[in-house]
Structure 1
């Protein structure tokens, strides 16, 4: 197991396209829900326990070797908004290119062939983690970190926040990220006995609504 591989997957500079997405915070800024570091922290905590938890469990299940196509269908069912499904698959397609170049594997090749328009991004990351010799918990950690670091970084640009404050915010979220990753990996362990229904499906209706609205904007800084 390579901890360097985990750092690489979690690095915002990994060329998988995540830097172009705000994780919903751009819409939250425009609507006034996020306007300073405190409101950004509340946003990130909410996203961590909904989108972050659900995505981390899907990634962990993929790393554990469960059927990727079945998991991709499960991800669709947990992403009810068409705009966000399209984003997840676009990110998955970009992640697939980077993952196959960095951690070549038959699993990634099969998923790429079966989903030429892109699989959901957490599944691709999970298979990349598997190819790198990482554990399901590692994949869950990478996703939980991504679920909050993306919005935090985007908010710095959108609001001209102090980047030191945003980094301190992420540090405060550390224990919560650890707990969510552990819960997600535990759910992935139950898939063998219980099927994909064992995976969490925590919802965030406001993110769904604003995600659909954001996709229709003619002027925006981030793709989502």
Structure 2
């Protein structure tokens, strides 16, 4: 029985290690999602690769323990097997594509922020961190249309009026937007340039707007206004 207890202790240590590494993996994934420093993104990627090495060692340990105590701890062994599979799947997803997506989103956020001055970046930066890749593409398309004079003065006025009606529903993190909309010293175009990034956070639109080369600013603009008017 002492031998069994020894292997049971090893099994519990394995469970503890897996639990701790799952916690770390979630932290790395969160950092990838919101990190803005390319060097930090690189460090996260290396740490996730290390996690993959740990999983390989854990699987070897699990295989050995399974042969020793399969008749004593079947439930615990099944739990370990399931957790290792989940870790391995998560790591593969991150390394095979998700990291590239996060890096691309970082580049898109940086390019979007280049449109603004230093003080405006403080407001826009926190908003862009909330946007996923599709939302970033929509925001960029809207800003390009605005900069290219593809939106008429009445259309800009209409959008701004609708956004002003939504001010009470904005989260505290976007409080700076309310001050911009109400600022009498800014013209309509400038106000919209700063407020457009909040639109994707206020409406559901994915699948209804073509964001590729066929992007139609007129239909997209009217669809977004209609959706913003719905409470």
The answer to whether the superposition gives a TM-score over 0.5 is no
Query: TM-score by structure 2 length?
Result: 0.28
Q: Which has the larger radius of gyration?
A: 2
Query: TM-score by structure 1 length?
Result: 0.28
Q: Which structure is higher in RCO with an 8 Å CA cutoff and minimum separation 6? A: 1
Question: Would you tell me which structure has more helix in proportion to its own residues?
Answer: 2
